[in-house]
Structure 1
Amino acid sequence: MAHAFSRPRTSPRPRSLAAPPAAAPGADSARTGHRPGAPATTRTRTALITGASSGIGAAVARRLAAEGTWEMVLTGRDPARLRAVAEDAAATAFAADLTDPGAGRLLADFTQAAVGPVDLLVAGAGVGWAGDFREMPQRSIDEVFAVDVLAPLRLVRLLLPGMVAAGTGRVVLVGSLAGCVGVRGEAVYSAAKAALGTFADALRYELRDTGVGVSHVVPGVVDTPFFERRGSPYRRSRPRPVPPERVADAIRDAVGRGRDEVYVPGWLRLPCRVRGAAPGLYRRLAGRFG
């Protein structure tokens, strides 16, 4: 898809940065500034948030904007909704489909030119598909892995060298309970989120003593458009969906405290631990209660 970026109405930024790269055909020029009312004594940090046109990504953007100390680039696949979130959060919108060839490179280059070296990457984009694996189209299998695994890995690979060189930074990968325990009717989504969680663990070991942290945030059911888009609404009475703002608060807490793994809500640690400690018991319970 064509890349598009827009400029919300903001005040000038507090530091000098290189000019953004030339716009893609049909795109609007964009830059953002320091959010009005930010404490003058607090250093402005930079963040790139994917999946920011709705749901968890949008909630994270608004949560960081409320702090007044972040310059942000937001990306998502819906230009109109992304622009609205960016206006609300005083951030730069760069609409893109990160599964397109070269889209990650364009986004990384634009972000670094527009707001400078990235202090925080929140990989919040994700898609799912519900139904029996035997009936899942190949194109849907490819899309789930492209969006949920390959796109964030490519983006991390592009931004990580700068973080390591600076000796600071944090990568936040938004996983899912499905990646810890597996969910009936979501075999490929579960596999994709499991891959993301294992990547987070392995990368964290690799980055030890570099100053760069990795947070794996594991939400359960979240009240977002995710279920409608996967083709099957959420119909279970339990667990009850949590608002995306709750996940955004958990992400902000993980960033502020340097936490490696966060579950939302916290009790979700229990089924993951039961599965690890007593897999036979867990499978019997999961087979009975779903």
Structure 2
Amino acid sequence: MRWPPRRALITGGSSGIGAALAIELAAAGCEPLLVGRDADRLGALARRTGGRPLRADLTVRDELARVADAAAGVELLINNAGAGWHGPLGAMTAGQISDLVALNLTAPMELTRAAMPELSHRGGQVAFVSSIAAVGVHHEAAYAATKAGLRAFADSIRAEGVPVTTVLPGAVRTGFFDRRGAYTRRFPRPIPPEQVARVLLTAIERETPEVFVPSWLGLASRVRGALPGTFRLLARRFG
């Protein structure tokens, strides 16, 4: 894929990491297609970036299908939309689990499936915003499972002829925590969404398979793979 791409679809494009990605891509000469649920924010960001707003709730089947149709015409698909949930698993309702899986995992899978043939034909790329929670986090079982599933999905489709990049950020200063609940851990310290956007776009340009933000968080993944017992002991102690 030439850089920058001419058209990119960004889910969760009205704020946070998605908005930062749109601004960076627009500055490089790309036309972003911004997908989100907040029509006012989407419109304001579209005017700022020269992009196109597409209001949609990715947990609604018909609206997801409409976004999937739009994804078929882009050179870069960035699956960024996501939500969190914090607390004991038993406190979640079946509906909350279903909605979390639908947004964080099913929607990216469906959009990628729809876009893959055209991305392959155009020499395009696909990217996923996962999370360091993919290694497993106390009181975030369902959320961590969706992000681990997203990481595994990315790894699995990497051999299908389209470059795939996954970013695994730590805590990011966005409205995510307004909805999920306040971030109370002492580390990792929250980072700005612009930092995640820059790292991800550089990784996409270089066709890097996976990046962590900040980079030292990759140690947690390596310890989990090489020393799972040690990882579990540390996780119990530090949450």
Instruction: Verify the 8 A CA contact 2:69 2:114 in the aligned structure 1.
Output: no
* Partner of residue 185, structure 1: 139
> Which residue in the other structure is 1:7 paired with?
none
In 1, the alpha carbon distance for the partners of 2:156 and 2:121 equals: 20
Whichever residue aligns with residue 257 of structure 1, its letter is: R
1:117-152 Cα distance to aligned partner (Å, 9 max, x none): 311001110001110001111111011100000011
Partner of 2:67: 107
Q: Equivalent residue for 1:53? A: 14
Asked if structure 2 preserves the Cα contact closer than 8 Å seen for 1:216 and 1:261, the reply is yes
Identity of aligned residues (%): 46
Q: Give 1:251 deviation, angstroms.
A: 1.3
Gaps of 5+ in 1: 1-41
Distance 2:95 2:189 in 1: 31
1:200 maps onto 2:154 in alignment: yes
- Tell me, what secondary structure is at the counterpart of 2:202? helix
Gaps of 5+ in 2: none
| Alignment partner of 2:118 out of 145, 153, 162 | 162
TM-score (norm 2): 0.95
**Does 1:79 find its partner at 2:33?**
no
**Cross-structure match for 1:238:** 187
Deviations 1:139-180 (A, max 9, x none): 1101110000001111111111111233x111001000001x
* Matched-pair contact (CA < 8 Å) for 2:126–2:165: yes
* Cα distance between partner residues in 1 of 2:68 and 2:153: 20
Alignment correspondent of 1:216: 166
Could you list the runs of 4 or more consecutive aligned residues of structure 1 that deviate by over 3 angstroms after TM superposition?
none
CA distance in 2, matches of 1:246, 1:44: 20
Is 1:93 aligned to residue 43 of structure 2? no
User: What is the CA-CA distance between 1:188 and the residue it aligns to?
Assistant: 0.1
How many residue pairs get aligned? The number is 237
What is the CA–CA distance in structure 1 between the aligned matches of 2:214 and 2:4, rounded to whole Å? Answer: 31
Bigger Rg over Cα: 1
Normalising by structure 1, we get a TM-score of 0.79
Q: Distance in 2 between matches of 1:43 and 1:286?
A: 40
- Kept in 1, the 8 Å contact 2:172–2:190? The answer is yes
Distance of 2:131 and 2:22 partners within structure 1: 20
> In the alignment, is the contact (CA less than 8 A) between 1:105 and 1:158 conserved in 2?
no
The amino acid that maps onto 1:145 is V
Distance in 2 of aligned mates of 1:190 and 1:101: 23
Specify the alignment match of 1:174 in structure 2: 129
More helix per residue: 2
Structural RMSD (CA)? 1.4
1:237 deviation in Å? 2.1
